[in-house]
A = this chain, B = another copy of it.
Amino acid sequence: MIRRLFTQCQLRPGDVSPSRADMEVVGTFNPGAIEFEGEIVLLVRVAERPKERRPGWTPLPRYEPGGGIMIDQVPDEHLVPIDPRVVRRKSDGCVRITSVSHLRVMRSGDGRRIDSIDGPRFLPEADYETFGVEDPRITRIDDRYYLTYVAVSPHGAATALASTRDFRQFDRHGIIFCPENKDVLLFPEKIGGRYAALHRPNPATHFSHPEMWLAYSDDLVSWGDHTPLLGGGSTWDAGRIGGGCPPVRTQRGWLEIYHGNDKAGEDGDVGRYFGAAFMMDGDDPSRIVAQSGGPIMAPEADFETDGFVPNVVFPTAMIERGDKFLIYYGAADASTGVVGLARDELLAALQ
């Protein structure tokens, strides 16, 4: 574990108003974050669920393209609860999520305190987003800001690409990694003449637990040369791992903060989520040159151990500030936090 210089809970569900009077905000978490116009812009996942509770019925929200949020009321007897986030239909074995997410632009002057929470919204609007848009990661490439985000729909959980110059207007570039793929991170510059990304396929047939992969592209839209990069171990990362923060270039190579989970069970216990780090070669990211060898962050603050899904720290953005790294993360699938780590201590932990 790395000593935290500070831990700040930046945002809780109660801080944010719902889209509609009949919805409630249950999560403000897993933020993208990047430097923009002298401030930190955060793009926060806002998860909402219907307020109404009819005994015997489960309300399942979705976006109707062009029509806002719709609520499907489903009899409880048709559903099997999986965990707080997911139910399974008995009829066909397929799942629905109990909330629906959109993204909101927020700003922080000092990188810690959020000064403005009512910025532009990135709402589900494509056919492949009807169950929500989630977990954005932001990378600046030249003069555009690219966001990779999870697009959920009856077609599955895919990763889509959008871009913006101003965090007001967003252009969509479609699905870049088909289902199931999450935790897609773009490198901020070309490597060997090509764009690069980390991704985390999650196949139906598990020959191993989910692994992080590397892929390359000429245009950020079409991706190939898929290569396995890193699998989990047998302890804190025995369940699943996935990319966290878009990689940051350091003198020693590409620094990646990622997450691991100690039990990706199917019995409702989702385990604990930790943050960890590795370093990739600067010219060839398929070469991992150093690893933290264990978690650098564990759920410890109250807002990390208690929440919609307890015991989760889920790093999603990293910003270098002098001799510190600020790590932005989702806490307990409910809140947004930021911790400060000393640059030297983090790099020293990478062996």
Residues of A within 8 A of B (CB): 86, 92-96, 127-128, 131, 152-158, 174-181, 199, 201-211, 213, 215-219, 221-228, 231, 238
**Shortest beta-carbon distance, A173 to chain B, in Å?**
8
Q: Which of A93, A156, A176 gathers most chain B CB within 10 Å? A: A156
CB of B95 within 8 A of CB of A174, answer no
**Shortest beta-carbon distance, A270 to chain B, in Å?**
13
Chain B residue contacts of A176, Cβ below 8 A:
224, 226
CB of B238 within 8 A of CB of A207, answer no
CB of B95 within 8 A of CB of A178, answer no
Which B residue's beta carbon lies closest to that of A266?
B93
Which B residue's beta carbon lies closest to that of A206?
B94
**Shortest beta-carbon distance, A191 to chain B, in Å?**
15
C-alpha spacing A86/B86, complex, angstroms: 28
Chain B residue contacts of A227, Cβ below 8 A:
174-175
Which B residue's beta carbon lies closest to that of A130?
B207
**Shortest beta-carbon distance, A54 to chain B, in Å?**
24
C-alpha spacing A308/B95, complex, angstroms: 31
**Shortest beta-carbon distance, A234 to chain B, in Å?**
8
- Take A174-B225, A178-B199, A217-B222 as given contacts and tell me if A92 and B154 are in contact as well, using a CB distance cutoff of 8 Å: no
**Shortest beta-carbon distance, A287 to chain B, in Å?**
15
**Shortest beta-carbon distance, A156 to chain B, in Å?**
5
Closest 6 A-B residue pairs measured CB to CB? A180-B203, A222-B224, A179-B203, A222-B222, A175-B226, A221-B224
Q: Which of A156, A177, A179 gathers most chain B CB within 10 Å? A: A179
Which B residue's beta carbon lies closest to that of A96?
B207
C-alpha spacing A224/B177, complex, angstroms: 8
Chain B residue contacts of A131, Cβ below 8 A:
207
Chain B residue contacts of A152, Cβ below 8 A:
207
CB of A94 within 8 A of CB of B209, answer yes
C-alpha spacing A224/B220, complex, angstroms: 9
Interface CB pairs A-B, < 8 A, 27: A92-B209, A94-B206, A94-B208, A95-B207, A96-B207, A131-B207, A153-B207, A154-B208, A155-B208, A155-B228, A156-B201, A156-B203, A156-B206, A156-B207, A156-B208, A156-B211, A157-B205, A176-B226, A178-B215, A179-B207, A180-B205, A202-B205, A203-B203, A203-B204, A222-B222, A222-B225, A223-B223
Chain B residue contacts of A226, Cβ below 8 A:
158, 174-178
C-alpha spacing A305/B118, complex, angstroms: 62
Chain B residue contacts of A211, Cβ below 8 A:
155-156
**Shortest beta-carbon distance, A266 to chain B, in Å?**
9
CB of A203 within 8 A of CB of B157, answer yes
Q: Contact partner of A204 among B96, B206, B228, CB < 8 A?
A: B206
Chain B residue contacts of A180, Cβ below 8 A:
201, 203-205
Chain B residue contacts of A155, Cβ below 8 A:
207-208, 211, 228, 231
Q: Contact partner of A224 among B93, B154, B223, B228, CB < 8 A?
A: B223
C-alpha spacing A155/B205, complex, angstroms: 10
**Shortest beta-carbon distance, A225 to chain B, in Å?**
6
Chain B residue contacts of A175, Cβ below 8 A:
224-227
C-alpha spacing A175/B228, complex, angstroms: 10
Q: Which of A95, A155, A216 gathers most chain B CB within 10 Å? A: A155
**Shortest beta-carbon distance, A63 to chain B, in Å?**
14
